[in-house]
Amino acid sequence: MENLEQPQITEENLEETTEETTEEITDNETEETTEENKFDPDKFTPEIKEPFKLDKITDDDDDDMDSEDKARMQKQFEKGSRSIVARQQSFEDQQSVNNIILNQPELRKYQSLALKYMKSHTTLTAQDAMSIASAKDQQKIGALKERKAQAKVARTVTPGTSYRKSSNGPKDWSRATSKEIETQIARAKGQRIWSI
């Protein structure tokens, strides 16, 4: 895709431009702004949490069992392991919410609500559940962070002194010693200065 610069229309070259070039320039500008503002929901794929599942029983070595027996055993296995799957899913949800709270401690009070959302919507990720749970207070949380940052800046501000030695302007030669005057004259003449 070529990126050609469009000529800018100014008062100086306004007479030189034709109607066609002005139309081309305005058409290109409107196309760029509409492309930037366009949101395509088909290109967006939300993150979906995969629920915890146990592997199915696969026992191909046993020839004595027919497919009905295997299906019945699989059904009994799933029925008996539901509590294990539920506990494991609950543990994984708790861990993911705790990871978010480690990074954002101000969201701690929304932990139980986020876990309830995750339990009722099994494909909801922890970040999304936490966003939903704290949606009403996000502006307050942002303002609180801003106030904390401003307070931290106010604590670390120096009173305006610099660490470098400040010079008070040019040397006041009326108060200089005779040694300083002789040294300055020698520098002006380009002579070597010997320190004693």
In a domain, 142, yes or no: yes
> Is residue 97 included in any domain, yes or no?
yes
pLDDT of residue 59: 62
37 exposure class (CB count in 10 Å sphere: 0-12, 13-18, 19+)? exposed
- Judge whether 128 lies within some domain: yes
- Of 137, 121, 138, which Cα lies nearest the Cα of 129? 121
Residue 6 neighbours by CB under 8 Å, 6+ apart: 24, 25, 28
Name which of 108, 119, 111, 114 is nearest 129 in CA terms.
Answer: 114
Average of per-residue pLDDT across 167-188: 84
Residue with tokens 């029983």: 57
Q: Is residue 23 part of a domain?
A: no
Evaluate whether residue 42 is within a structural domain.
no
160 in the Ramachandran plot: left (φ > 0), alpha (ψ -120 to 50) or beta? left
Q: Is the residue at 122 inside a domain?
A: yes
Token pair recorded at residue 1:
């895709």
- The residue segments making up the domain with residue 81 are 67-152
Tell me whether residue 31 is in a domain: no
pLDDT tens-digit profile of 97-151?
999 999 988 889 999 999 998 888 888 888 889 988 888 888 888 898 899 999 9
Cβ atoms 173, 181 nearer than 8 A: yes
Which pTM does this prediction carry? 0.46
Tell me whether residue 99 is in a domain.
yes
Could you give the number of structural domains in the chain? 1
Q: What is the pLDDT of residues 74-89, one digit of tens each?
A: 888 878 788 888 888 8
The stretches of the chain forming alpha helices (DSSP H) are 19-37, 67-80, 82-103, 111-120, 126-133, 138-156, 178-189
